[in-house]
Amino acid sequence: MLALVCRMGQLVLQRDYPEPIPQADEVLVRVTLAGICATDLEIVKGYVPDFSGVLGHEFVGVVEQAADSGWLGQRVVASINSGCQTCETCHKSGPEHCPNRRSLGIHNQDGVFAEYVVVPVRNLHCVPDDVPDERAIFTEPLAAALRIREQIVIRPSAKTAVIGPGRLGLLVAQVLHLAGEDVTLLGRRPDSLALPASWGLSTGLTTNYADNWFDFVVEVTGNEAGLAEALRLVRPLGSLVLKSTFAGGSQVDLTKIVVGEISVTGSRCGPFAPALRLLAGNALDTASLITAEYSLAEATAAFVRAAQPGVVKVLIRP
């Protein structure tokens, strides 16, 4: 099959990549649409230095092989983490934290920038008929945005900032705004804030806000500078959620976390079912997040486009 393969940070379009064979507890899915996210771009830069295989974890597809015939022909999305299902961590905390987990297109498992992908049956979620592929493709990142609401109780009166008006930050801001939060989406450039401003969201430049201005800050910038700004802006006894993963180390001074007694929460993958409900209800704007679409044969060009400043979501259609 045709697949986009990453080896030692190099992307190669391989036309004879082996088609995956599902095991008894897995299904074979024909990928109909896939999305490039910041994690994919960071893996190419070295975020997961030992990754070798097919990249990608945001996708919509159709089940073509399954032991349970009820899944055949179903349009699906799938959560990206597969645990061993036997260890204490899996039973208590879920597959996201299993020490032996596989993560689709990220860790020990081929991803979705290919014609076919294999995923466990237990990870599947059916896509409602009235949700087109172009909306359903946002299920995984929207679930990650919803994870924040699972982890933290946010007072509606709390002054809230989302730093980073990119792929995930735009979804996080919409999710918090839907919940009635007093949300301001912050960026470094006025042009990066034009889209959320058109939705009616409050926006601003990070440099225009004084130290300790916000009660609650979500950092979604994908870079070290964003973490430093988040720490500057959160008040003592405030809360900080970190969403960024990126290649390289960080030299940010963390003293304020101790002195200011700031609560810090790491946040990663989230629940697919409520994400699909929001998408089915047209509760968020996703159409304007799509910058471009490429065929799988043009996947290397798609990655170049996705890495350009100001680009939001680039899709790949096999």
Lowest mean pLDDT among 5-19, 37-51, 208-222: 37-51
- 221 and 296 part of one domain: no
Give the pLDDT score at 141: 97
Q: Which residues pair with 182 in a beta bridge?
A: 159
Q: pLDDT tens-digit profile of 110-140?
A: 999 999 999 999 999 999 999 999 999 999 9
Residue with token string 């993958």 = 269
In whole angstroms, what is the distance from residue 109 CA to residue 101 CA?
10
Query: What range defines the domain where residue 157 resides?
Result: 146-266
H and E: helices and strands count for the chain = 10, 18
Residue 225: band (very low, low, confident or very high) from pLDDT cuts 50, 70, 90: confident
Q: Are 22 and 118 contacting, i.e. CB atoms less than 8 angstroms apart?
A: yes
| Dihedral-angle region of residue 248 (phi above 0 means left; psi in -120 to 50 means alpha; beta otherwise) | left
- 100 and 166 part of one domain: no
- The burial of 180, by beta-carbon neighbours within 10 Å (0-12 exposed, 13-18 middle, 19 or more buried), is given as exposed
- 127 and 216 part of one domain: no
Domain annotation covers residue 281: no
- 113 and 201 part of one domain: no
- 234 and 293 part of one domain: no
- 109 and 164 part of one domain: no
- 9 and 123 part of one domain: yes
Amino acid at 175: V
Q: Are 123 and 79 contacting, i.e. CB atoms less than 8 angstroms apart?
A: yes
Give the pLDDT score at 248: 65
CB-based contacts of 227, cutoff 8 Å, min separation 6:
219, 221, 242, 244, 250, 252
Q: For the chain, what percent of residues have pLDDT higher than 70?
A: 99
Domain annotation covers residue 71: yes
Domain harbouring 112, CATH code:
3.90.180.10
Give the pLDDT score at 169: 96
Give the pLDDT score at 226: 87
Average pLDDT over residues 8-24: 94
Domain annotation covers residue 274: no
Residue 147: what are its φ and ψ, rounded to 5°?
-55, -35
What is the number of domains present in the chain? Answer: 2
Domain annotation covers residue 273: no
Cα 156 to the chain's mean position, in Å?
Answer: 25
- 63 has pLDDT over 80: yes
Average pLDDT over residues 23-30: 96
Domain annotation covers residue 16: yes
Q: pLDDT tens-digit profile of 70-86?
A: 999 999 999 999 999 89
Average pLDDT, the chain: 94
Domain annotation covers residue 244: yes
Residue 50: band (very low, low, confident or very high) from pLDDT cuts 50, 70, 90: confident
Give the pLDDT score at 251: 78
- 231 has pLDDT over 90: yes
- 175 and 96 part of one domain: no
Domain annotation covers residue 272: no
In whole angstroms, what is the distance from residue 125 CA to residue 103 CA?
17
Q: Are 217 and 163 contacting, i.e. CB atoms less than 8 angstroms apart?
A: yes
- 303 has pLDDT over 90: yes
Question: Read out DSSP for 145-183?
Answer: HHHHHHH----TTSEEEEE--SHHHHHHHHHHHHTT-EE
- 21 and 43 part of one domain: yes
- 93 and 132 part of one domain: yes
Average pLDDT over residues 283-297: 97
In whole angstroms, what is the distance from residue 237 CA to residue 262 CA?
5
- 104 and 207 part of one domain: no
Domain harbouring 186, CATH code:
3.40.50.720
Q: pLDDT tens-digit profile of 128-178?
A: 999 999 999 999 999 999 999 999 998 888 999 999 999 999 999 999 999
Give the pLDDT score at 275: 98
In Å, what is the CA distance from 103 to each residue of 244, 256, 273? 17, 33, 19
Domain annotation covers residue 256: yes
- 107 and 10 part of one domain: yes
